[in-house]
Amino acid sequence: MLADEIDRFPSNVKDEGDTLNLAIERTKTWTLNRKIVLTSTPTIKGESRIEREYENSTQEEYYIPCPKCGTMQKLEWRNIIFENVGHKCSDCLEVSNEYEWKKI
């Protein structure tokens, strides 16, 4: 199940309950092979659903090697170069394009 922008989900629809909890409850039929993916832009600190889900998660982060120097790093928005659609390595500071990243 993929639930996008969960911070914007209504908390109660027609007295049936929380929409996110209802959706997750429906996945229990497939407990052995289910996957639940929750995404959202956080809204109000302390009240954000995605913030709460993140705090209760394993908080894993995906690292990939730089095509130029091999340093393992996260892809971060601050290192995205929009002008030439590239990503700047946080270690060697070289910019690699999408094709170079996909080759690794």
Work out whether strand 95-97 and strand 72-73 pair parallel, antiparallel, or are unpaired: unpaired
Q: DSSP string covering 82-96, please?
A: TTTTEEE-TTT--EE
Query: Is the pLDDT at 104 greater than 80, yes or no?
Result: no
Which tens digit of pLDDT belongs to each residue from 24-76?
999 998 888 999 999 999 999 999 999 999 999 999 888 989 999 999 998 88
Q: Are residues 31 and 70 in the same domain?
A: no
CA distance 41 to 9: 12
Which tens digit of pLDDT belongs to each residue from 91-100?
999 999 988 9
Q: Are residues 71 and 95 in the same domain?
A: yes
Query: Is the pLDDT at 16 greater than 90, yes or no?
Result: no
Range of the domain at 86: 64-103
Query: Which residues, 6+ apart, have CB-to-CB distance to 103 below 8 Å?
Result: 67
pLDDT, mean of residues 1-7: 95
Q: What is the pLDDT of residue 71?
A: 96
Which residue, of 35, 55, 75, is where some domain finishes? 55
Query: Is the pLDDT at 12 greater than 90, yes or no?
Result: no
Q: Are residues 44 and 70 in the same domain?
A: no
CA distance 34 to 102: 28
Query: Which residues, 6+ apart, have CB-to-CB distance to 74 below 8 Å?
Result: 61, 62, 63
Provide the domain count of the chain.
2
